Amino acid sequence: MVNPVPGYGIGTPYGRRGSLWSLGWHTGADFPAPMHTHIVSCTPGTVVSVSNDRAYGHYVTIQWEGYRLLYCHMPSGAAVVTPGQTVSAGQLIGSVGDTGNVTGPHLHLEMRKSPYGFNANDIVNPQPAIDYDPQEDDVLTPAQDAALKELLDRNRSQDRVLVEIRDRVNAVWRGTERLAQLAPGLTGVANAGPFWPDVKAAIEKVLGRPISS
Q: How far is the CB of 49 from Zn ion (least distance, A)?
A: 19
Applying CB under 5 A, the site for Zn ion has a residue count of 3
Distance in Å, CB of 26 to Zn ion, minimum: 6
* Backbone φ, ψ for residue 137 (5° rounding): -85, 75
Least distance (Å) between residue 28 CB and Zn ion: 5
Give CB contacts under 8 A, 24+ apart, made by 203-206: 203/148, 203/179, 205/86, 205/147, 205/151, 206/86, 206/140, 206/144, 206/147, 206/148, 206/176, 206/179
Among 4, 14, 28, 44, binds Zn ion (CB under 5 A): 28
Which residue's CB comes closest to Zn ion? 108
Least distance (Å) between residue 95 CB and Zn ion: 16
Residues 33-92 that bind Zn ion (CB under 5 A): none
For residue 72, the minimal CB distance to Zn ion (Å) is 7
Nearer to Zn ion, 22 or 181 (CB): 22
CB of 14 to Zn ion, least distance (A): 9
Q: How far apart are CA 87 and CA 90, in angstroms?
A: 8
What residue spans of 10-57 are helical by DSSP H?
Answer: none
Q: Which among 21-29, 86-94, 133-141, 164-172 is the span making contact with Zn ion, rule CB under 5 A?
A: 21-29
DSSP result, 87-154: E-TT-EEEE-B--SS-SSSEEEEEEEETT--SSTTTEE-SHHHHT--GGG--S--HHHHHHHHHHHHH
Q: Closest CB to Zn ion among 24 and 83?
A: 24
Chain positions 103 to 162 lying near Zn ion, rule: CB under 5 A, are: 108
Sequence-distant (6+) residues with CB within 8 A of 36 are 75, 78, 95, 96, 97
Nearer to Zn ion, 56 or 67 (CB): 56
CB nearer Zn ion, residue 30 or residue 137: 30
Query: Rule CB under 5 A: which residues touch Zn ion?
Result: 28, 30, 108
